[in-house]
Amino acid sequence: MLVSPGHPYPQGGGEHDARCRLPLGVMLKEDPSNDALHYYYGMCKLLERKLPEAEKHLLKAVELDPSNNWYREALASLYDAQGRSDKSAAIYLELYDKDPKSYTTPF
């Protein structure tokens, strides 16, 4: 697998994007309720700069597993990159309120 739970962000670009996207897309069709597949597929879409599709899959990952902070952090980063600071700030504050010890770096 090109991405692993130990590394939340897929690396690379170009050819890697296609290799990452294809198996995840096939697996998503077979298991559309798999939160991790939505997360990783969303991250692939982010690498491809297909931000609306990335947002769709990251939102679905958060919906399926709201307790996973990786999903929320990725969504907040996406909103940040789009200049949607109101949405990213809301997520970051929610994450901080939930676990302040994990977010001690001032932003």
Average pLDDT, the chain: 82
Confirm whether pTM is higher than 0.85: no
**Alpha helix stretches (DSSP H) within the chain:** 15-30, 35-47, 51-64, 69-81, 85-98
pLDDT digits (tens, 9 = 90+) for 65-86: 999 999 999 999 999 989 999 9
Q: Which amino acid is at 67?
A: S
Give whole-number Cα distances, 92 to 14, 31, 51, 54, 67, in Å: 30, 29, 19, 18, 14
CA distance 17 to 19: 6
Whether the pLDDT of residue 27 is over 80: the answer is yes
